Amino acid sequence: MKPYHVVSGGAVVLLSGLAILGIAVFPEAQVLGLSPISLAILGLYVFAVFLLFRVEKRDGVPEESDAETMTMARAILGFSVSAVVIVVAGIFLIHASKNIASGSALSGSFIGAILVAIVTSLPELATSIGALRIGAYDMIMGNLFGSNMFNILTIFFADIAFRRGSIFSGLGAQAPNQLLIAILGILMATMAVMGIAYRSKRKVLGIGIDSLSLLVVYMVSVALIVFRGIDL
């Protein structure tokens, strides 16, 4: 297991822990109109990125892959166009999700935790499959942990946009549900790091025992969210 996977996976756990503090302990606290937890999340994210850069510079070795060579200009153009498409699609997705929540018995918490989370993770899934096909195995884990780190960082930007105090105070009655989701996220992130470190070769139905365990925990988590009756 490469050190930067430990750093990025550990950062996901720590960032999630900070989010839990914001939800459960300091929902009303503010510094310059922002939650101190949001500021701590920003600081930890920057520090984690710095550590990742240092570890990569110290230990990183260019990963061999089976990808066809591409000019830098073409690669940058393709990356930029793909990023714009994802951002635009994300804006439409949120509006559509809000309408689904308004016109159904499903709550915003459920829509966000399950449906929106799945749809917004599809680009990561596609990226991981593409990386697997070209043999860029480290890119897969970097993508998964890195995207989780940035997802939690968006709490900071949401706090800036939220003008009625701390973003955590705006959760209101939904705070316990979001707390459950954050705790389950920490559990799965920890399991993922342990699975990468242990590298079990045992498989069930062709699936690694660690991956299968994550799938089981995810399904149980979804069941918990549903059966808790998050505004259903």
Which residue is it, tokens 């309408």?
Answer: 99
Cα gap 85→73, rounded to integer Å: 18
Residue 232 in any domain: the answer is no
Range of the domain at 193: 3-61+71-227
Residue 126 in any domain: the answer is yes
Report the 10 Å Cβ neighbour count for 141. 20
Q: Measured between alpha carbons, how far apart are the two ends of the chain, in Å? A: 42
Report how far apart, in Å, the C-alpha atoms of 43 and of each of 5, 16, 149, 170, 204 are.
Answer: 19, 14, 12, 22, 41
So what's the pLDDT on residue 17? 92
Q: How many domains does the chain have?
A: 1
Residue 66 in any domain: the answer is no
Residue 151 in any domain: the answer is yes
So what's the pLDDT on residue 44? 95
pLDDT at 232 over 50: no
Averaged pLDDT, 158-181:
82
The average confidence (pLDDT) of the chain is 78
pLDDT at 143 over 80: no
Residue 170 in any domain: the answer is yes
Cα gap 9→194, rounded to integer Å: 9
For helices 3-24 and 137-161, the axis angle rounded to 10 degrees is 30
With beta carbons less than 8 A apart as the criterion, state whether 9 and 143 touch. Answer: no
Averaged pLDDT, 144-162:
88
Residue 115 in any domain: the answer is yes
So what's the pLDDT on residue 47? 94
